[in-house]
Structure 1
């Protein structure tokens, strides 16, 4: 508050109003988007083996079907993040929903391999908008409940993977992969149907100076939740920050180079003024001295989590695929490459539920960093036996446990990533990090499919071990904990962790 002129920020308003009916609506919409993305990603485990048999594809051509989706997501995650930070969260995710639905539905009618590759790349481009929805949802959640409700949000991904595995089990043997592609695009169409009722992020509106619109949305939240806004006028964090910097000019001195005591306010104003943004501004801001450490570490963690998560998903089909002829004693070598064991994939999909429960139990109690690092290190332990060929049952059990750990870690990454960036570049920061993760997704099929098909299981699993271990170490090196901490609007305030950090 300012003397003589009481004010409140968006964070204070959200905490005052609490989590209620409005947030449940936002959760349902963002959750549908998460289901849509999960289904489009999960079907990659089924479409590749199916079209390999139909069109006589090589292992490299099969893996390319998955890789182009991640390549599209790499471009989309960065592009949509910039769009959302510049023009608003709503405009960012409506474009992605249109692209995903149209390209996903048309994929079902692809006449040949080349057209399927192109359409799946566009699907990936649309799916790259996932971080925009995650950031949009995050900006409506009160700080004390953020970790728990972000885990609930992540549960929609699990619902999507299980639903897709169930759909494939029912449809693939009788109707084939084209029907699977068509039906998997339906959730994206629902986003278009309910788009008109979605609100813009009040935090984004305040940042753009549109306080009247932000206040209107906050009043709507209060009405739906049956609560009231705090007394006073709506203010921005930047205004409070500048006042505090004037009163306490040496508070952040230890964060600066010698002779640059007055720099933090200037940096904040640069970050928050959209008219100062050039074409390369968002990326340059992420690599600024204040943010570069967390940005580079986050890139490694995103890469490792994506590489490991999609690797475990693909290994579930590849290691137990009857087409794998590396072990002559294995039954079913005579079958074609589309003989995916849908039962194993379906069972493995349920591993994400205990992963969610573990992350929900840990994320606010132990903190984001401990939750992520412990799950990654335990995942390495479960992968060790797979350095050598194991029985189908043991392989499924081990991959089930690996998926529990990696899904828990991935859930927390998507909670932690938006929390470490200021509002002005939040979706860009998460989007770029997610893009780097997509690089892991692009390379992953070459390992999970290419190396396993080439009878190099030990090399493939060892590579997964190294990547996951490196990710866990990087998590330990993150500069601060974010559990229970308010979101920030500018760089200088996001630099200094609260004294209560774990």
Structure 2
């Protein structure tokens, strides 16, 4: 008779360790995560090229292209997270990326400016699904690596920004904007293919009560990493009914939701503002873009992420967050001062580099803190709600009238980063330390502890295999009494 030992999810991941599976997951998730930052570069360059092809577009219509993308992100943010919490991380990831790939390619075929705006609006709708790979990654690595891996995926965000900017420098002039759009969809195509190498989040499966499926996934992950989990079973847990989205507003979650919501909104307002301002800072009066300067300032994001990740090994991310937003605030004020005194391209480039460094570092910390603040059954829903707040900030960053001066815009971005600094500091002083421990708690919790935290109980449920597809079609373990 073979004896098995019951383990928590944290113990299972510790036994699996960090290996090839997690690296592969990071790459696949990162390819999907690149979508939003690629779109920033696309909007920056596409607006100029589209107006050259359709010079009759005037007034507010010039802003329609960028506003359509960031506006529909609001709608996409309303349902992708909830879909991920109900259908699973893996399937929602595929749906979001296939939709994104399709609409991205269709926009390259747009016969008119109106159709281009509509197509890019559909792209924005799909981009709302980028929270899914981030949450899946956070739930699928050993606890001690979780923070570092979540920072590491932010490099793909910056890689997307560098990819779109570098691609523009290589192909936009000789081949045109339509080929440029097709090539910017390449990382999403690779993400779609990566679906076949993904596993469902074991944490999500266990939380939904699919004990056998979660154990089988862990065993397959272990096999990829060269670890045998055949002698292990998991602590069982299931809910009586599907959780309601209203649980996001539970009293114990309300304060972190509001504080993170403010930071998401204003932090992404400042980030997208700094990114889009590059087009104004480094475009000559004749309309020629200095691609070298835009690439240099974009690389500041790599420094920001690296500083945030290294610093998080010594201080908590919550403590780090206000300092990074403060750096971005001061850099924006510096750009404002230098530009007002007479543009010095070298100094402006350095200040824009710092602005991207601070804003990307701050946003990275905010991304890392978000899944840690909410329990598994509503993690993607809460993350999606906060991404919605961030999309509002991104939309506001694109809504400036064409006559708005750079001084006004940079002052607004500096103010937004200053508010983020203040709210992040308030989080440290006023929120309980356990406010960002939900992810860790779900990893370690016993059945009794999880039941005590839940507002829902257990009842009979349909087998996961009735809807999960062939790769998950397995019988569930009997329920433990």
Tell me, yes or no, whether TM beats 0.5. yes
Q: Which residue of 2 aligns with 1:274?
A: 241
**Distance (Å, rounded) in 2 between the aligned partners of 1:15 and 1:371:** 27
- Aligned positions of 1:37-436 closer than 5 A: 37-56=36-55, 57-58=57-58, 60-229=60-229, 232-236=232-236, 272-275=239-242, 277=243, 281-282=244-245, 284-322=246-284, 333=285, 335-336=286-287, 339-388=288-337, 389=339, 390-436=343-389
Shifted more, 297-306 versus 192-201: the winner is 192-201
2:374–2:439: 8 Å Cα contact kept in structure 1? no
**Distance (Å, rounded) in 1 between the aligned partners of 2:82 and 2:146:** 24
SS in 1 for 2:14: helix
SS in 1 for 2:34: helix
CA shift, 1:309, in A, is 0.9
**Distance (Å, rounded) in 2 between the aligned partners of 1:74 and 1:492:** 34
SS in 1 for 2:329: helix
**Distance (Å, rounded) in 1 between the aligned partners of 2:315 and 2:115:** 48
User: Please, what TM-score do these two structures have when normalized by structure 2?
Assistant: 0.85
Structure-2 change in CA distance of 1:181 and 1:385 (3 Å) = same
Q: Which residue of 1 aligns with 2:407?
A: 458
CA shift, 1:228, in A, is 4.1
1:290–1:491: 8 Å Cα contact kept in structure 2? no
User: Please, what TM-score do these two structures have when normalized by structure 1?
Assistant: 0.82
2:321–2:362: 8 Å Cα contact kept in structure 1? yes
2:40–2:275: 8 Å Cα contact kept in structure 1? no
Shifted more, 28-37 versus 438-447: the winner is 28-37
**Distance (Å, rounded) in 1 between the aligned partners of 2:174 and 2:70:** 29
Structure-2 change in CA distance of 1:422 and 1:69 (3 Å) = same
Structure-2 change in CA distance of 1:291 and 1:181 (3 Å) = same
Structure-2 change in CA distance of 1:199 and 1:75 (3 Å) = same
CA shift, 1:273, in A, is 3.8
**Distance (Å, rounded) in 1 between the aligned partners of 2:316 and 2:192:** 36
2:202–2:218: 8 Å Cα contact kept in structure 1? yes
1:379–1:401: 8 Å Cα contact kept in structure 2? yes
SS in 1 for 2:251: coil
SS in 1 for 2:440: coil
CA shift, 1:124, in A, is 0.8
SS in 1 for 2:18: coil
**Distance (Å, rounded) in 1 between the aligned partners of 2:101 and 2:136:** 20
Instruction: Tell me the alpha carbon deviations over residues 291-335 of structure 1, each in whole angstroms, 9 at most, x when there is no partner.
Output: 11010111111111211111111101113322xxxxxxxxxx3x2
Instruction: Tell me the alpha carbon deviations over residues 21-63 of structure 1, each in whole angstroms, 9 at most, x when there is no partner.
Output: 1111111211111234432332111111221232223363232
Count of aligned pairs between the two proteins: 437
Q: Structure 2 residue aligned with 1:488, among 424, 442, 449?
A: 442
